[in-house]
Amino acid sequence: MLSAKTQLTSARKGIVTEAMKRVAEFENRDPEFIRAGVAKGTIVIPANIRHENLQPMGIGRCLKTKINANIGTSSLSSCINRELEKLLAAVKYGADTVMDLSTGDDLENTRRQIILHSTVPIGTVPIYELACQGGNDQEIDFSRENILSVIRSQAEQGVDYMTIHAGIRPEQIPAASRRKLRIVSRGGALIARYMVQNHCDNPFYNCFDDILEICAEYDVTLSLGDGMRPGCLADASDDAQFAELAELGRLGRRCREAGVQVMIEGPGHIPMHEIEMNMKKEQELCDDAPFYILGPVVMDCAPGYDHITSAIGAAIGAW
């Protein structure tokens, strides 16, 4: 798989790509600094070879802190023009990346239009499309063929990075069952239910090498999802969370061995005094790969105001 030409494989060969030069200019860094960071895995440049109008963005160690914005249709609202308005507004006000979390009608065309009109990296969560195929979360086709078909289709469209929940494993389930809120990640919950009902391992884990082949072909960056992220402060920094984080570290090494760039998704609800420890834990277990923290949310008592509670946690985490 290392024969594929990606930002990572180029960096390891000592090649400074055009994307690296543009990131270096934006970050006011030497291009060689960017190349070395990409080669080491502490910097990623999500840049699918099919995303033609992309302005490359670097994420990681010693670079400016980046902010992601989420958009997407739902069963209640499936207007593509509305999503394009959200995209343009997000970019206008400083979003560095945008995730399309659509679950409404015509997912493929919605995604195509978003990528076509976006100059920033676009991310997706493929399991959301899998869940939409059957009409409800109860009838998901987790076959290897279907998983890879969805991921390849999204890669061919130009998706720059994908959240894959491959780190949740059967041995983590007992620890999660002892939580106050158990599993709050939608992707994580869908996979956990499937594993329990079918007495099997994570289907994304089982076909991870095949996923890496697709990502290497299109230079898709993987964002390894935290299906065991805590949903309340009482569940923060527990055995389930850190067992998955250790697994994500191992999967991250497999990504880099395959020439695929990788980010690690971070925790959800974390009290302020534990954020620093969580940041250092990721650096230790995941070889200092870029940490895509979902906030963290620093309190449980502000539903509907996550943009505020998450901003507090993000500021502490970035610091």
Domain coordinates of the chain in residue numbers? 7-318
* Best CA proximity match to 118, nearest among 144, 83, 147, 66: 83
The amino acid at 306: D
What mean pLDDT, rounded, does the chain reach?
A: 97
Per-residue confidence band for 139, with pLDDT thresholds at 50, 70 and 90 = confident
Q: What is the mean pLDDT of residues 62-82?
A: 96
Tokens found for residue 75: 């069963």
User: Could you say which DSSP state residue 170 is in?
Assistant: G
Structure confidence at residue 2 (pLDDT): 52
pLDDT digits (tens, 9 = 90+) for 209-267: 999 999 999 999 999 999 999 999 999 999 999 999 999 999 999 999 999 999 999 99
Structure confidence at residue 135 (pLDDT): 72
Give the three-state DSSP class for 71: strand
Q: What is the mean pLDDT of residues 91-109?
A: 97
Give the three-state DSSP class for 161: strand
How far apart, in whole angstroms, are the C-alpha atoms of residue 277 and residue 19?
33
Q: What is the fold, at CATH topology level, of the domain defined by 7-318?
A: TIM Barrel (3.20.20)
Per-residue confidence band for 3, with pLDDT thresholds at 50, 70 and 90 = low
Residues 6+ apart with CB under 8 A from 161: 46, 97, 121, 122, 123, 220, 221, 222, 223, 263
pLDDT digits (tens, 9 = 90+) for 29-39: 999 999 999 99
Least confident of 46-50, 72-76, 172-176, 289-293: 72-76
The structure's pTM equals 0.96
Q: What is the mean pLDDT of residues 115-120?
A: 98
- Pairing type for strands 59-60 and 43-44 reads antiparallel
Q: What are phi and psi of 107, to 5 degrees?
A: -60, -40
8 Å CB contact between 242 and 281: yes
* Best CA proximity match to 36, nearest among 57, 19, 13, 18: 13
* Dihedral, CA of residue 99, residue 222, residue 103 and residue 140, to nearest 10: -170
- Residue 1, pLDDT above cutoff 50: no
Tokens found for residue 260: 């695929």
